[in-house]
A and B are shown apart, each in its own frame.
Chain A
Amino acid sequence: MGNVDSHISLHAVAKSFPGHDGHPDTHALGPVDLDVARGEFFSVVGPSGCGKSTLLEMISGLSPPTTGTALFNGKPIGGSVPAGIGAVFQQDASFFWLNVWDNVAFGLRRHGIAADEIKHRVNQALAFMGLRAFANAYPAQLSGGMRQRVCIARTLVLRPELLLLDEPFGALDQQTRLLMGDELLRLWRETNATIILITHALDEAAMLSDRIGIMSARPGRFIDIITTNWARDRDSRIVSDERFGAIMGKLWECLREESLRSLKSGS
């Protein structure tokens, strides 16, 4: 049984997609057990196709588990998305017909927040994400990294208690990723949100997380969960800390086999 105080609690959660024409079902994920504490920064790493994104879908309520229970704040997540969850995906989700300001204000407007409050929160988020100068620009005029910042800002203003990130920096270059990692940590400390990050970049997971879940090849199951014991006020410079190398080593030790297996099976 899971920890009652967990923010997210998954028990024996699995996902299968039904087969057609007498073909067998595709077993995509699980069974998975996971407890994520409130305010924790938890990352999931694993070979491609192992089901990391499916896991996120079930945590967010976008897709229900085939078996097992998923709990958010102790309550089961039905087929719909519960309040208090924000998500940023790998693809650019910025709305091309709105400028940056309107993009960020979008969610607030839909939920009927008062205009003053909207103005306050949006300006705050823009300043936080370094977008103040670009408030009137349109996504088409911005780089990929800037657009992701817009998406993060748009999620931030809604003050989610749980922030889900599915390879949000996948399309960015290494230096930008490291800087975005710093921003993410800053954000995490300021908002005290729980963050679950999916990434294929081991260094990113090692640098950012309190705990890292290592997932096997498909169907994904947690092989191991590593605790990093980093201090809360960390930034990207911990890559020079000797413990960083050790964590990376442990991650790759686990993953190398799984990745080979995944490669051979052609997923």
Chain B
Amino acid sequence: MKSTRLDTAILVFGLLLVWQLLYMVAGANVISAPLATLIRAGQLLADERFWLHIKSTGEAFGLAGIIAIVLGIAVGLWLGFRRFAGDVADPFINTLYSIPKITLYPLILLAFGLGMSAKVAFGVIHGLFPVTIFTMGAVRNVAPIYYRTARIMRLTDFATLATIMAPAALPEILAGIRIGVALTLLGTLIGEFFASTSGVGFALIRASETHAVTDVMAITLLLFVFAASVNALLNFIQRRLRHNG
């Protein structure tokens, strides 16, 4: 869609223009100009100390993500297969998904103290539920006709699972993972706001406390770009698989 790309470019350009204008109106104490922000972002990426922050966040995010996905899929599969258990658990899980996880923050801080494990815990509680819910839904939504086909073909339970149920459920599970990963990142960063002395989230809150405006904007920009890229990557993977099916 060439026209859409052009429109998007125009929109982005327009936003940059608005940003520049805001800067000129509000002054350097409030926001920093686009160019200055970009330069600062570049400086940060070249700075060793900032990379330590990135590493810290990366470790926590990676670990939390893996736990959320593995645990979420495991629980989701179990609840999807065991009809009764799934029916019983359904409203509980949906309620847990919808309550603000902030209500659990004090508990996590008290239970895990400050540091890496708290960050990971924050990340996991945010990302776990969508993965579970989507996986459960994916299993339950596998068309019953597929199971009949498996029985007529006299497939073993294992073969049914591996060659029919898994690929049939995969697209929806992936949708859940996409949302879960985004929320895990959110949770990890929040964990760094509250419970850490390292990490990009910590750097961000530090910068805002010291009123280092350009730093705040530069780090925000970097996070924005990172989150958008991860999402785009998962989106791409999802679309590739959909083309296959």
Contact = CB atoms under 8 A, between A and B. Distances in A.
Decide if A and B touch, CB cutoff 8 A. Answer: yes
A166 to B, nearest CB: 10
A248 B172 CA distance: 48
Contacts of B148: 62, 87, 89, 93
B13 interface: no
- Counting chain B residues whose Cβ lies within 8 A of the other chain, the interface size class is 10 to 19
A81 B245 contact: no
Contact of A92 (B145, B164, B170): B145
B159 interface: yes
A89 B145 CA distance: 8
Interface string A102-115: 00001100100000
Interface string A71-108: 00000000011010111010111011110000000110
B153 interface: yes
B159 A138 contact: no
Given A62-B152, A97-B170, A140 B145 contact: no
A110 B159 contact: yes
Contacts, number: 50
B149 A81 contact: no
- Residue in B154, B163, B170 with the greatest tally of chain A CB atoms within 10 Å: B154
B161 to A, nearest CB: 12
Interface in A112-149: 138, 140
A81 B241 CA distance: 33
Nearest to B170: A97
- Counting chain A residues whose Cβ lies within 8 A of the other chain, the interface size class is 20 to 34
Given A110-B159, A110-B163, A138-B244, A97 B168 contact: yes
B145 A138 contact: no
A7 to B, nearest CB: 17
B144 to A, nearest CB: 8
What DSSP secondary structure best describes chain A's contact surface? loop
A158 interface: yes
Interface of A: 60, 62, 80-81, 83, 85-87, 89, 91-93, 95-98, 106-107, 110, 138, 140, 158
Interface in B161-204: 163-164, 167-168, 170
B151 interface: yes
B143 interface: yes
Contact of A96 (B153, B154, B155, B245): B245
Nearest to B152: A87
B141 to A, nearest CB: 12
B81 interface: no
Contacts of A62: 148, 151-152
